[in-house]
């Protein structure tokens, strides 16, 4: 008799995260960047033009505190999980940490007049260090919050995409508000003006943090955990792709933050107007968002490594153009910053994607999976690169004669600004590009890594369930590549089939018919089609163009989301592990599994056969109209949306493409056959594939189901 199996505990809830929660979560990153970007883009000029420090000293403070920020991230990452309050584990840090963060931020930009040089250095250095620490204890839990708000990987991509857009938009707005104030820093009351400006920014940031806190919900249970750096370093020694990627990230972030530290100097002294920095930032943001939209296409056509190298080359061209731009030429400068947005935005987005691949590689090579450890290493190295870039840019400016608080600069000083803003970042970007040439983890190798890892995970899960050594689960592969036993050799192997189909292909009807024909349990997909798209016409199309775009630009517009990406990846792995356990338990006495990534989970299981069902789009639309009563346009969008969402879920959870024909034993076009004919074909194929099959008591082939086979 066919039995339906319920979704496992903790399965993603159907229906997308409400739009207001996505928006209010993004407001938290607006709050983040009101302070983070203020210190990244404007602190160096504040130190030289208002506080009166030399360029070399300002660069040293900037460099040291950025490295300290990397340490602070590690401290925060090891600490925030210890909280456990009625508001959750993460939200309290946003509630109680936002005000101290705002206070030290305002004090950082409130250096008293009349302090000695040493006292001024101490004031800025100590408050900058305090700011970096306070920022880590708000930003790390904020980034981790997305994984606690939903278990749906598609929704988490929307959250990270909204965060990236918020970051880019905030940078433009902040530059419009702050950059013009640096055109004339000799006016009376300029220090008080900056204190008031930062006080306003701090109040706005706290208000936005509180809105984010009030609207977020930690609905996903989160157990406290720590990063094992010992095991991480064991993995790191065997993870050449991660080492190469980290070195490339070091040079890339050094290039980006050299420009961040000196870009405003370039606008004021080379272009002649500090307010023009707003146009440069706008062009940069447009380039960043535009390239993020096409990164998936770049990945398919060029591969991640080659796509990264191509984007880095665009960045080199942009930095080179910055060096050669004639004084006062805003249009050419805007074009150069647009190129920089494309180049650095593309490399940044691809870097996060490649980092996820190196986590898989580390588990495959060393047997150690450490999302948090891997991303912590990359985050720290990126922060060191940020510090080096800021220090190097200011140091070169100082060495070439830049004079703090001077209304005009010498020709040598102007050349120093050009070198710092253009030539040095170009060289650093070239180094980042050259390093990545040696990156060995291409698409073919990563596909093999994913396949091997999932085979291991299935075998480990079976061994744990059966309480046997994993070697007893493994067998030498035969012609069909099966290598995993679900029961002792010689015992009966009841039929196991996995079915994956396009929306409207008939999979949800054919799979239960197969279970009845084979007299085995039916295990339905985690989300029914109706749950994915809902039945209310107003909610029917749950995958809007805007939502797809948000998911595409995830982690492209920010430089401070490393550990957030690690948390999201870890959450996806947990869901995948739960699904694997659920599928294995459900097919203990055989079964027909619809969806649930069954073709991957059970891909190498002895006695299993894997089916993919397809059909022409017009036929699928007609079937959806027949079963739901939708309009043709709605049915077409439902087919496209559901296929896309299911593929994205598989990619996020298992890092594989369920639409790859190579994963299946049979790919059947259901458009020209009745469902019963298809069931008979599959049953016959199974009998031919496993002629030595033995029934368990009470199970076995039952012949024709008598099911209505009309399509």
Lowest mean pLDDT among 115-119, 152-156, 455-459, 563-567: 563-567
Q: Which two tokens stand for residue 192?
A: 């008080």
- What is the pTM (predicted TM-score) of this model? 0.83
CB burial of residue 234 (10 Å; 0-12, 13-18, 19+): middle
Q: With cut-offs at 50, 70 and 90, classify the pLDDT of residue 98.
A: very high
Spatial distance between the Cα atoms of 469 and 350, rounded to a whole number of angstroms:
39
In the predicted structure, residue 73 carries a pLDDT above the cut 80: yes
In the predicted structure, residue 206 carries a pLDDT above the cut 70: yes
Neighbours of 580 (CB within 10 A): 25
Task: Identify the bridge partners of residue 523 per DSSP, sorted by sequence position.
Answer: 593
Spatial distance between the Cα atoms of 224 and 567, rounded to a whole number of angstroms:
12
Question: 371 or 237, which is more confident?
Answer: 237
Let me know: does 590 contact 477? Beta carbons within 8 Å: no
Q: With cut-offs at 50, 70 and 90, classify the pLDDT of residue 709.
A: very low
Q: Where are the alpha helices (DSSP H) in 442-505?
A: 443-466
Let me know: does 541 contact 558? Beta carbons within 8 Å: no
In the predicted structure, residue 296 carries a pLDDT above the cut 70: yes
Which pLDDT score is estimated for 556?
A: 65
What mean pLDDT value characterizes the chain?
Answer: 85
Q: With cut-offs at 50, 70 and 90, classify the pLDDT of residue 703.
A: very low
Q: Which two tokens stand for residue 359?
A: 């986590």
In the predicted structure, residue 108 carries a pLDDT above the cut 70: yes
Spatial distance between the Cα atoms of 593 and 610, rounded to a whole number of angstroms:
9
Which pLDDT score is estimated for 562?
A: 66
Which pLDDT score is estimated for 631?
A: 87
Count, residues in the chain = 711
In the predicted structure, residue 88 carries a pLDDT above the cut 90: no
Domains in the chain, start-ordered, CATH in brackets? 17-150+177-216 (1.20.1250), 228-441 (1.20.1250.20), 494-689 (3.40.50.300)
Let me know: does 380 contact 354? Beta carbons within 8 Å: no
Let me know: does 117 contact 58? Beta carbons within 8 Å: no
Which pLDDT score is estimated for 588?
A: 85
Which pLDDT score is estimated for 550?
A: 67
Q: Tell me which H or E stretch contains 496.
A: strand 496-501
Across residues 250-269, what is the average pLDDT?
Answer: 94
Per-residue pLDDT reduced to its tens digit, 405-435: 888 899 999 999 999 999 999 999 999 999 9
Which pLDDT score is estimated for 701?
A: 42
Per-residue pLDDT reduced to its tens digit, 632-674: 888 888 888 888 888 888 888 888 889 888 889 999 999 989 9
In the predicted structure, residue 534 carries a pLDDT above the cut 60: no
Q: With cut-offs at 50, 70 and 90, classify the pLDDT of residue 629.
A: confident
> Highest mean pLDDT range out of 171-175, 318-322, 467-471, 579-583?
318-322
Give me the percent of the chain exceeding a pLDDT of 70: 88
Give me the percent of the chain exceeding a pLDDT of 90: 45
Question: 552 or 44, which is more confident?
Answer: 44
CB burial of residue 508 (10 Å; 0-12, 13-18, 19+): buried
Which pLDDT score is estimated for 46?
A: 95
Rounded to a whole number, what is the distance in angstroms from the first to the last CA of the chain? 24
Which pLDDT score is estimated for 711?
A: 36
Spatial distance between the Cα atoms of 430 and 317, rounded to a whole number of angstroms:
10
Spatial distance between the Cα atoms of 383 and 68, rounded to a whole number of angstroms:
8
Neighbours of 351 (CB within 10 A): 26
> Highest mean pLDDT range out of 217-221, 299-303, 598-602?
598-602
Across residues 9-30, what is the average pLDDT?
Answer: 72
Which pLDDT score is estimated for 122?
A: 97
């Amino acid at each position: 008799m066919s039995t339906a199996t319920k979704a496992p505990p903790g399965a993603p809830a159907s229906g997308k995260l409400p739009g207001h929660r996505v928006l209010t979560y993004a407001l938290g990153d607006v709050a983040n960047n009101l302070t983070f970007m203020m210190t990244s883009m404007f602190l160096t000029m504040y130190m030289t033009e208002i506080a009166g420090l030399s360029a070399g000293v300002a660069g040293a403070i900037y460099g040291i505190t950025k490295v300290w920020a990397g340490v602070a991230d590690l401290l925060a990452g090891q600490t925030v999980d210890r909280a456990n309050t009625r508001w959750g584990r993460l939200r309290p840090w946003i509630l109680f940490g936002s005000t101290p963060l705002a206070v030290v931020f305002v004090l950082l930009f409130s250096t008293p007049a009349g302090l000695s040089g040493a006292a001024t250095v101490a004031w800025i250095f100590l408050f900058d260090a305090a700011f970096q620490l306070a920022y880590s204890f708000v930003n790390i839990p904020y980034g981790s919050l997305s994984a606690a708000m939903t278990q749906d990987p598609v929704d988490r991509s929307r959250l990270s995409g909204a965060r990236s857009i918020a970051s880019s938009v905030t940078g433009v707005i902040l530059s419009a508000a702050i950059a013009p104030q640096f055109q004339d820093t000799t006016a009376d009351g300029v220090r008080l003006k900056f204190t008031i400006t930062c006080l306003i920014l701090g109040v706005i940031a706290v208000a936005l943090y509180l809105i984010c806190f009030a609207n977020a919900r930690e609905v996903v249970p989160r157990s406290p955990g720590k990063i094992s750096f010992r095991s991480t370093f064991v993995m790191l020694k065997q993870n050449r792709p991660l080492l190469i990627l980290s070195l490339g990230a070091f040079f890339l972030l050094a290039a980006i933050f050299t420009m961040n530290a000196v870009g405003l100097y370039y606008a004021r002294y080379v272009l002649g107007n500090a307010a023009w920095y707003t146009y440069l930032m706008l062009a940069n943001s447009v380039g960043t968002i535009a390239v993020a939209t096409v990164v998936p296409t770049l990945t398919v056509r060029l591969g991640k490594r080659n796509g990264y190298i191509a984007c880095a080359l665009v960045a080199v061209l942009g930095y080179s153009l910055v060096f050669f731009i004639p004084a006062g030429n805003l249009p050419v400068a805007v074009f150069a910053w647009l190129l920089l947005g494309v180049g650095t935005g593309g490399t940044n987005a691809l870097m996060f994607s490649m980092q996820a691949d190196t986590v898989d590689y580390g588990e495959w090579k060393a047997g150690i999976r450490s999302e948090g450890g891997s991303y912590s290493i990359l985050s720290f190295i990126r922060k060191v690169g940020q510090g080096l870039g800021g220090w190097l840019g200011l140091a070169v400016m100082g060495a070439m004669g830049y004079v703090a608080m001077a209304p005009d600069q010498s020709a040598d000083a102007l050349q120093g600004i050009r070198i710092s803003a253009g030539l040095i970042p170009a060289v650093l970007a070239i180094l980042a590009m050259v390093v990545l040439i040696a990156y060995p983890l291409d698409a073919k190798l990563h596909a093999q890594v994913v396949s091997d890892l999932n085979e291991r995970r299935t075998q480990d899960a079976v061994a744990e369930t059966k309480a046997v050594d994993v070697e007893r689960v493994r067998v030498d592969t035969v012609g069909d590549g099966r290598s995993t036993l679900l029961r002792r050799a010689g015992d009966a192997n009841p039929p196991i089939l996995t079915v994956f189909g396009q929306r409207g292909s008939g999979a949800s009807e054919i799979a239960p018919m197969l279970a009845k024909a084979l007299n085995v349990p039916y295990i339905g997909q985690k989300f029914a089609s109706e749950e994915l798209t809902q039945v209310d016409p107003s909610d029917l199309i749950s995958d809007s163009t805007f939502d797809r775009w948000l998911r595409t630009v995830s982690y492209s517009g920010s430089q401070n989301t490393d550990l957030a990406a690690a948390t999201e990846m870890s959450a996806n792995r947990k869901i995948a592990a739960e699904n694997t356990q659920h599928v294995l338990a459900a097919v203990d006495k055989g079964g027909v599994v619809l969806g649930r990534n069954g073709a991957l989970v059970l891909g190498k299981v002895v006695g299993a056969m894997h089916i993919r069902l397809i059909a022409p789009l017009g036929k699928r639309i007609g079937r959806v109209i027949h079963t739901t009563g939708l309009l043709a346009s709605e049915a077409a969008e439902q087919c496209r949306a559901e296929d896309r969402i299911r593929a994205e879920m598989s990619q996020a959870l298992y890092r594989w493409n369920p639409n790859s024909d190579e994963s299946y034993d049979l790919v059947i076009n259901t458009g020209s056959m009745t469902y019963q004919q298809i069931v008979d074909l599959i049953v016959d194929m199974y009998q031919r594939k496993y002629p030595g099959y033995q029934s368990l008591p009470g199970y076995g082939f039952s012949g024709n189901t008598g099911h209505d086979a009309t399509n």
